[in-house]
Chain A
Amino acid sequence: MISLDLQAKRFGETEVLGPMSIRFNPGERVAVTGPSGVGKSTLLRILAGLDANYQGKLQRDASISMVFQEPNLLPWRSVTQNLTLTTGIDESDVGKALAEVGLTGLQDRFPDQLSLGQQRRLALARAFAAKPDFLLMDEPFVSLDPERLSEMLNLTNQLLDSYQPGLILVTHSEVEAEQLCIRRLRLSGQPAMIEE
């Protein structure tokens, strides 16, 4: 379970996020939507523990992993090492993790030898290989063409069904929110508040 009682999040004098109380239950799939720049990614960073500079309290007794806007892979480590070093899985499990995202046979390559689409799949494989209780996704499908977007959404859905983690998806896309999530949290206003 993840719960956040937020009083305020400021950048300098500007209050970006206003008071809100949110709770994410195990296995629940939630989309955080809202216009660009409203503070969706800031909220996700707080939930991920990447930003501790806020007024409020975060309670998290669940493991998390994350898919970022960019793949954020280690370019100097092989595909295999990108999985084993970050998630702690054995090399013997790498083949299965790669097969699940359609990257079979690419384990010895470096990330720069993969296309952007393949790098995103690797980032997805890494997130699921960690077997998290909650998967956090921050605009994970930006700059994908419609065909690739559809493929990635289907793939993510399959993996979510298979591993059953909770999902907190930050997106401005109604299509992504609709296809992956059941519950919606919409951020709006200045400072941003939740309209569920």
Chain B
Amino acid sequence: MASDLLKVRGVVPALSIVALVAFWSLLAILNGDPDVLPGPWQVAPLIVKEAISGELWLHLSATLLRVIFAFAIAMSLGTALGILMGRVRLFDRWADPWLIALLNLPALVTIVLCYLWIGLTEVAAITAVALNKIPAVTVTIREGARALSPKLDDMAQVFGMSPADRMRHVVIPQLASYLASAGRSGVSLIWKIVLVVEFLGRSNGIGFQIHLYFQLFDVGIVLAYALSFIAVMLAVEILILQPWETRTTRWRRA
């Protein structure tokens, strides 16, 4: 009976989240100081309060917009560069040292430099986040591009498929699992970097709020904002990424 219940889709992840909240509650009780580690029952009302006041939506949407823009730029440029480096050996040889340099450039350095060179603007913030993610996307997609089937390339060439059709029907489907992997790790990394960017140089967003309440030593509100955005990212994973992945890999299960 219990094992049957565990087979129902979504039950195990839900139980896992309940276990995490229970573990957090246990730590909060053992710690005994809500100023250091408030329990879920203390953070939840703070989330509701911030939501009712409108502050939560204001900062949540600001951060989400930055994540969306930076993600779109990083995925587009990273995918294009990855395909180019995976397919054109000469370009790969020239660009590889640049890629390694960018991969090892600390996120904080990129952010600070962007703010110094471009100014404390939205463009600088999004540029800094995108620049941090582009190399990682490029590396993942390059691996996929190196594994593309030369036999399908031959077929597409013989049958005179247009470059756009080749990209859409031959190349991208082969890269789907690499794109999903880059996308998933991209979303999680980007929103963390966005928070740093907001922490350092924006006047709204989750990172800005965390900065504000860090100065007031208010752990409860810091957790409230962080958890709210984690919930948003979980929703993105469940409502967008997973259905997209299911759709693009439908043929494997056929």
Query: Chain A interface (Cβ within 8 Å of chain B)?
Result: 45, 48-50, 64-66, 68, 70, 72, 74-77, 81, 85-87, 109-110, 112-113, 126, 130, 136
Contact = CB atoms under 8 A, between A and B. Distances in A.
B170 A74 contact: yes
Interface string B149-173: 0011011111101000100011001
A68 B254 contact: no
A48 B161 contact: no
5 contacts: A48-B154, A66-B154, A68-B155, A74-B152, A76-B251
Given A109-B254, A112-B251, A72 B155 contact: yes
A75 B254 CA distance: 10
A110 B154 CA distance: 20
A109 to B, nearest CB: 7
Contacts of B169: 74, 77, 81, 85
A86 B166 CA distance: 9
B168 to A, nearest CB: 9
A68 B169 CA distance: 19
A64 B158 contact: yes
Contact of B151 (A64, A72, A81, A136): A72
Nearest to B173: A76
A48 B158 contact: yes
Which 5 A-B pairs have CB atoms at the shortest separation, nearest pair first? A86-B159, A76-B173, A72-B155, A110-B254, A76-B251
Contacts of B152: 72, 74
Interface residues of B, number: 18
A114 B92 CA distance: 38
Contacts of B252: 112
Contacts of B156: 86
A66 B159 CA distance: 8
Given A50-B157, A76-B173, 7 more contacts: A50-B158, A66-B155, A74-B169, A74-B173, A75-B251, A86-B155, A109-B254
Contacts of A81: 169
Nearest to A74: B169
A112 B251 CA distance: 8
Contacts of A130: 159
Contacts of B155: 66, 68, 72, 86
Contacts of A72: 151-152, 154-155
B80 to A, nearest CB: 21
A86 B157 contact: no
Nearest to A72: B155
Q: Which of A64, A76, A87 has the most CB atoms of chain B within a 10 A radius of its CB?
A: A76
A106 to B, nearest CB: 12
Nearest to B172: A76
A58 to B, nearest CB: 14
A110 B158 CA distance: 22
A50 B254 contact: no
Interface in B36-93: none
Contacts of A70: 151
B165 A68 contact: no
A86 B251 contact: no
Contacts of A110: 251, 254
B251 A68 contact: no
B163 to A, nearest CB: 14
Contacts of A112: 251-252, 254
Q: Which of A48, A50, A72, A136 has the most CB atoms of chain B within a 10 A radius of its CB?
A: A72
B161 A85 contact: yes
Interface string B96-122: 000000000000000000000000000
Nearest to A78: B251
A72 B156 CA distance: 10
A66 B151 CA distance: 12
Contacts of A64: 158
A87 B162 CA distance: 11
Q: Which of A49, A70, A74, A109 has the most CB atoms of chain B within a 10 A radius of its CB?
A: A74
A66 B155 CA distance: 8
